């Protein structure tokens, strides 16, 4: 199973996701760190992603080659992450056939009605549970 983790800015959220995935699933999953910038990619690589790539082309190219894409909701928003996420990146992620598991963090002023606001650690627990269920089904 190939999981792409997309993050930008300092890569803090992405590195936490990679760390939790690695702790829970070890080498059972391949984790591809996809950063909008080299700082984000580096942070995710330090958390033990298998491979990493940086920038618009890397995100566009790899989005179509993954089983899962994980990241904050803003990876679907043109000009998200303070403008680091380009419209082409958002389109590539949205058009990908990969299953997307997104964290509903309100960084872009977008509120999804019906979701409860939870702290990031609780959201990561839920994300890990979802991946675990998916692995059992395969």
Instruction: Work out the percent of the chain whose per-residue pLDDT is above 70.
Output: 98
Which pLDDT belongs to residue 125? 94
CA 95 to chain centre: 15
In the chain, where the domains are located:
2-137
Helix (H/G/I), strand (E/B), else coil: 93: helix
Residues 6+ away with beta carbon under 8 Å from 66: 2, 3, 4, 32, 96, 98
Options 3.40.50, 1.25.40, 3.10.20, 3.90.870; CATH for 2-137 is 3.40.50
Going by C-alpha positions, the residue among 29, 77, 19, 89 that lies closest to residue 53 is 89
pLDDT tens-digit map of 47-60: 999 999 999 999 99
pLDDT tens-digit map of 100-109: 999 988 666 7
């Amino acid at each position: 199973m190939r999981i792409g983790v997309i993050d930008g800015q300092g890569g803090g959220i992405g590195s936490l996701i990679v760390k939790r995935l690695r702790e829970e699933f070890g080498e059972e999953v391949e984790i591809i760190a996809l950063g909008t910038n080299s700082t984000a990619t580096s942070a995710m690589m330090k958390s033990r992603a298998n491979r990493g790539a940086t920038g618009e082309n890397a995100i566009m190219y790899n989005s179509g080659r993954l089983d899962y894409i994980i990241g904050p909701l803003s990876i679907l928003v043109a000009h998200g992450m303070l403008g680091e996420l380009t419209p082409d990146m958002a389109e590539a992620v949205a058009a990908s056939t990969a299953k997307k598991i997104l964290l509903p963090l309100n960084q872009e002023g977008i509120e999804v009605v019906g979701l409860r606001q939870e702290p990031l650690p609780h959201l990561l627990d839920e994300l890990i549970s979802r991946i675990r269920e998916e692995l059992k089904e395969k």
